[in-house]
Structure 1
Amino acid sequence: MMNETRDRDRETALFEAAQELASVGGWEYDIRAETLYCTDEVDRIYGRETKTDVTLSATIERFHPSDRPAVRAALDDAIEAGEAFEGEWRLRPQNGDQRWVRVYGEPERDGDAVVRIRGAIEDITAEKRHKERLNRLFETNRELLEQETADAVATVAVEAAREVLGLSINGIHLHDADDNVLVPTATTDATVDLLGEPPTFEQGEGIAWTVFETGDPRIYDDVRTADGIYNPETGVRSELNLPLGDHGVFIAGSPQPNAFDDRTVSLAKILAANVETALDQLDREQRLRRQNDRLEEFASIVSHDLRNPLSVAKAGIEVARTERGDGDSLDRVDRAHDRMAALIEDLLSLARNGQDIEAGDMETVKLSVLASHAWQSVETSDATLETENNGEVVADPSRLQQLLENLFRNSIEHSSNPVTIRVGTHSDGFYVEDDGPGIPSEKREEVFEAGYTTQDDGTGLGLRIVRTVADAHDWDVTVTHSEMDGARFEITGVES
């Protein structure tokens, strides 16, 4: 007998523990006696400290006023028609915030009459909140995709992490490819209050750079125990570091250890993926805008610059047809065709050099060697090439040679005397300069426009091709006055 009692007590204890772990309680309503029995877990869900006055009507009154009619209707159908039910309703506990519960009910008959209803009640508040946050993240994703700049995307994401995920301490660092650093782009006020102004991470610095470089998220219950921490005295204990592809990192923290549950981490990863998608879209749109600009430029050149030599050729042919033509008219046709051939060749070069450069196209090349190859491809006449040093640059060799060829031609064609051209590197790139007539300061930006030329037989595309090659590399090109009293073209932002 004692063994049976001990076994029954053990089973009861196990059942109660299982209920508490699952947040599911059992209940039974005796219709004839009008009594309601509930397990301890039901009392915990309801926030009841004692079982006094546990009646059906009092229990229903704990539900949200808008949900009470549905609860009563479900119970009435179970009692009168013997129909089982399941419903999700809002509960207002006596000692806490509103909860969501899922209630099950199964009628039990004695003959034709329903004599009792047995069921369960489950606390689904966490599940409901997770779904709500997930839905709000989907709404945030639409907002992210509507932004027109990377800074705006970062701002929306940081605010969503604060409002939707409850991550009051968070920020986004975006990668600056020119300086190869992770720049703080958006952050919450709470982050600044706790940690001060966020730092710029240089290559190899901190966990953030490791996450950006490897693409692997890092999640710490206590970041102070981690290797490679940027600031060992940080006020943060829990920390999330999530990659944003090749765009940067998302960082969230808490002054408390073990602050992030699995659902929060999961939702933060969804947000980070959405941010990466939005930034990828911006990159695609930027490339598309560049392509459209080039197409418009080509259309303008074709419709304007090619029309003139076509008209000249047509006029020459008409003169020849009247049998009054002479050598001059046919010479005009020949020159017009040469002009069109030159334009077409430069247009094709402009199209090829304006395409985006893939990482696999980039190489480390000696500038002096490439300059020598470019020099051999140009009609140099009596011009002289000097290379100041043997520096190296990272570039697409084919397109860099095209850039040098066009700069060499520009110097030679615009100098009435034999010109000396010098090529060399500087701290941020390289230069090409000459001792020719130079370029007036008011014309130094205009010379890069398509169609600009001071030569009767020029296409006006040579320096435009130079700028197009520079843009494809994310370089900047400017023209100034050289030490040799000529023109100096400086290309900056070049990896060396």
Structure 2
Amino acid sequence: MFGSLSFSGGVVLTGTALGGGVGVVLARHAWSNRDVPGAVSFASLMLAVAGWCVFSLFVLTSSSLVSARRWTALIGICVTAIPILWLTFALEYTGREDWVTRTTLPLIWAEPVCYTVFALVNPAHGFANETARLTTSDSLTALSVVHTGSFYFHLVYLFVVLVTGFGFLTSFVVQADRLYRKQTVAIILAGLVPFFGISVFSFVDLNVAFGLTPVFFAASGILDSLALFRYNFLDVAPLASEVVLSEMDDPVIVVTDGRIVEYNSAAEPLFQVDSIVGSQLETAVPGLLDAVSCGHSFTPAVRTDGSMGETPVYDPRSTPIRDHHDAHRGDIFVLREITEQKRREETLRALQSATRRFMDVERPEAIANVAVQTADKVLDHPYSAILFPDDDETILRSVAMTSLLERGLDEELAFSRDIESIWSVFESGTPVVYESFDLLPSSKYGYLPVGCLLLLPLGEHGVLGVGSDTRKRTFTENERRFARVLASTTETALDRARRERELRESQAMVEERTEQIEFFNGVLRHDILNGITVVNGNLELLEPHVKASGTSYFDTVRKWSEDIGALTEKVRSVSQTVTDSESVSLETVSLPAAVTRRVTKVKDTYPNVSVETDIEDGLTVAGNELLGEVVENVLLNAIEHHDGRSPSLTVRARRSEGSVRVEIEDDGPGISDGMKTQVFDRNVTSEATGSIGFGLYFVSVMMDQYGGAVWFEDAEPRGTVAVLTFPQHDRPGETYIKKHNSE
């Protein structure tokens, strides 16, 4: 049959077969990506194209009119479906999926379906009607048909649908991001080839146009393959190809399904594999996915580019890639280098750690060691030292050095005043940077491989020196900033250590003076009490020999002797309470019992004194064994300063707003407003009696120890009310510590 086939016939036959094969391949590939928006409609479109080409092969090789008409009818179905599928694909590809609904699709398919049914029912119409005649050219069969008006109407409708699809794609090229333009242009060109061919040859012979269309589909398939595999509009590569810019300084990696599909040159040093594209991201860059998922920084395990220096630290961020259908197509990993930021954070942590360590040490040498260790840990400069001046400030001597510097020296560093560079830093308080080690005596320290030196003052304490090795000839701004902060922190720690040392020395001196005072106070009390004992003994022996005229003088001597003895005992009580320790041990004391004992003692001592009590039962306060003496001193003060022969006193005690209030009221002459606060001073002397007011001072001191208060109020119609308030303490047997007021 094909023995006399010409070249042009061979081209037609080969092109038709090629168009069918390409259509099948593209349909299969699109179907394998059917989860991508537009893939199903594109697969259907390619399947219809393949059907047109395959059925055309059957027509070209047909030997009977019946078979040729049958294959031509099937071609008509494919021809009818292709424009509709083209429009559907264009809508979905350009992001107009919401236009493809159950309402719009029937409207679009209405005319093609109606025409096809009409053509099948009425043989006078359709692509192969009753007028069809079999013709042969170049050993290939063709069908000559005279079409009716309904056919041309149907053909115009299909052309309108095709043009509408091209219109949506063209609009998308203009409006869309340049990311999609190449692939969209490729799709438009692929569709224009058969459309253009049919349009041109239709003016020559419609039958010829339809006969050559499969050849145009072969050329169109080549463009579709380019769009599918070069620009790959069904995969993620085209979506990221223009995002990954070669001029970006930050490493960028594009990943889909866990595999690398694109990267920029800045990312190359990160990869641990030779074949990068197609490799699993976790294999190529170990640890990156974990860092992104945990929100941590990322440090490459090994630098594969062979470069020296500090390993960089990155802040990795992952951004999902979504197409114009909002479908997730992959991820872009951008790694922003944060090496300097990380170094600053580490520096800050080192300074915080040094500050805490400074608080735990007291000796200046220990503080210097902490500072040098911190400088050695944070700065990449191995020669650091701190120098203190000697007592006469003629030599600066090292008290702490880094281990490398210490190993390089046979003895301590020492600089006399003739080394003006170091001494000028110490005396002026101005930091200095030297780009060489020339300031040190070459005969003594010149062998040290120091490239540059930074000297910072530590106030009156000394100098901090930081030296680099010979590879470095300068300090970065961050290194200088850290060194300045470290020097300032070290100076503050040294100041604190000096103040604490001075405070300890002062406290030791105070303790020594206190011990001396207590010693002499004890000796004084001992001698006074012994003297009073001797005086009282002799007064008893002397009393029978005193004449009536000397009785008043004798009573005065005895009274003063008793007062001096009582005063001495009170001095001892107060001294023990205030100076024995830094705190007073308090316990629960029954207030009614303590008050009743002292009231009974006063009544027995002063028969002419009337004392009434009104004390609420069960009152307990925080106190100690001196509580009774406090109450007694207030009672005795009221009796002593009374201006009558028979003083009348009333003692009341009640709970009052969480405390216990004790009132001791007398009917004496009262106290002036000016004296109500002064009577508690230790040096106040009563004008009426001439006695020193030590008793009320004792009361004031003890009430402060109890956490209470004492003051005087006026009584009606005359007299004074002494008010004492105690914190209520309702837990019998419990003891607690009351701290002394440091002031």
SS at match of 1:177: coil
Q: Does 1:43 align with 2:265?
A: no
Deviations 1:35-77 (A, max 9, x none): 5222211224x167xx962246443324455x64454x58xxx
Deviations 1:191-249 (A, max 9, x none): 2455653442234633221111111111233354xxxx243673433101111121111
Distance 1:288 1:16, change over 3 A: farther
Equivalent residues of 2:425, 2:457 under 8 A apart: yes
How big is the shift at 1:176? 2.2
Identify the match of residue 402 of structure 2 among 181, 188, 205. 188
What pairs up with 1:401-420 in 2 under 5 angstroms? Answer: none
Distance 1:34 1:131, change over 3 A: closer
Aligned partner of 1:231 in structure 2 is 441
SS at match of 2:473: coil
Q: Greater CA radius of gyration, 1 or 2?
A: 2
Aligned-residue CA RMSD in angstroms? 3.9
Equivalent residues of 1:137, 1:164 under 8 A apart: no
Q: Does 1:94 align with 2:304?
A: yes
Distance 1:259 1:246, change over 3 A: same
Looking at structure 2, the residues matched to 298 and 54 of structure 1 have their Cα atoms a distance apart, in angstroms, of 83
What pairs up with 1:360-375 in 2 under 5 angstroms? Answer: none
Distance 1:152 1:35, change over 3 A: closer
Deviations 1:266-313 (A, max 9, x none): 222232223222212211111111121122112111211133234434
Q: Does 1:263 align with 2:483?
A: no
Aligned partner of 2:716 in structure 1 is none
Distance 1:286 1:52, change over 3 A: closer
SS at match of 1:305: helix
Q: Does 1:26 align with 2:230?
A: no
Larger strand fraction of residues: 1
What pairs up with 1:26-425 in 2 under 5 angstroms? Answer: 26-29=252-255, 31=256, 36-44=261-269, 46=270, 53-55=275-277, 57-65=279-287, 68-69=289-290, 71=292, 88-92=297-301, 93-95=303-305, 99-110=312-323, 111-194=325-408, 197-203=411-417, 205-224=419-438, 229-231=439-441, 234=446, 235=448, 236-256=450-470, 257-313=472-528, 316=531, 319=535, 322=539
How big is the shift at 1:250? 1.0
Looking at structure 2, the residues matched to 263 and 174 of structure 1 have their Cα atoms a distance apart, in angstroms, of 26
Deviations 1:377-428 (A, max 9, x none): xxxxxxxxxxxxxxxxxxxxxxxxxxxxxxxxxxxxxxxxxxxxxxxxxxxx
SS at match of 1:91: coil
Distance 1:179 1:52, change over 3 A: closer
Looking at structure 2, the residues matched to 54 and 114 of structure 1 have their Cα atoms a distance apart, in angstroms, of 23
Specify the code of the residue in structure 1 equivalent to 2:441. N
SS at match of 1:197: coil
Looking at structure 1, the residues matched to 258 and 371 of structure 2 have their Cα atoms a distance apart, in angstroms, of 57
How big is the shift at 1:255? 3.5
Identity %: 24
Distance 1:311 1:32, change over 3 A: closer
Specify the code of the residue in structure 1 equivalent to 2:322. R
What pairs up with 1:421-460 in 2 under 5 angstroms? Answer: none
Looking at structure 1, the residues matched to 274 and 403 of structure 2 have their Cα atoms a distance apart, in angstroms, of 48
SS at match of 1:190: helix
Looking at structure 1, the residues matched to 391 and 331 of structure 2 have their Cα atoms a distance apart, in angstroms, of 67
Looking at structure 2, the residues matched to 180 and 64 of structure 1 have their Cα atoms a distance apart, in angstroms, of 59
Equivalent residues of 1:154, 1:186 under 8 A apart: yes
Distance 1:145 1:166, change over 3 A: farther
Distance 1:301 1:198, change over 3 A: closer
SS at match of 2:465: strand
Specify the code of the residue in structure 1 equivalent to 2:390. D
Deviations 1:459-485 (A, max 9, x none): xxxxxxxxxxxxxxxxxxxxxxxxxxx
Specify the code of the residue in structure 2 equivalent to 1:54. I
Larger helix fraction of residues: 2
Equivalent residues of 1:62, 1:91 under 8 A apart: no
Equivalent residues of 2:276, 2:284 under 8 A apart: no
User: How many residues of Structure 1 are paired with residues of Structure 2 in the alignment?
Assistant: 293
SS at match of 1:246: coil
Distance 1:138 1:57, change over 3 A: farther
Equivalent residues of 2:383, 2:469 under 8 A apart: no
Deviations 1:312-333 (A, max 9, x none): 345556738947799xx99xx9
Q: Structure 1-normalised TM-score?
A: 0.50
Deviations 1:86-127 (A, max 9, x none): 652232243468643211232232213023434421232343
Which structure has more relative contact order (CA 8 Å, sep 6+)? It is 1
Distance 1:57 1:261, change over 3 A: same
Distance 1:33 1:203, change over 3 A: closer
Aligned partner of 1:7 in structure 2 is none
Looking at structure 1, the residues matched to 347 and 258 of structure 2 have their Cα atoms a distance apart, in angstroms, of 44
Equivalent residues of 2:388, 2:462 under 8 A apart: yes
Q: Which runs of 5+ in 1 are unaligned?
A: 1-11, 75-85, 334-496
Q: Which runs of 5+ in 2 are unaligned?
A: 1-241, 540-552, 565-743
Equivalent residues of 2:259, 2:280 under 8 A apart: no
Equivalent residues of 2:258, 2:280 under 8 A apart: no
Specify the code of the residue in structure 2 equivalent to 1:26. V
Looking at structure 2, the residues matched to 130 and 153 of structure 1 have their Cα atoms a distance apart, in angstroms, of 23
Equivalent residues of 2:381, 2:469 under 8 A apart: no
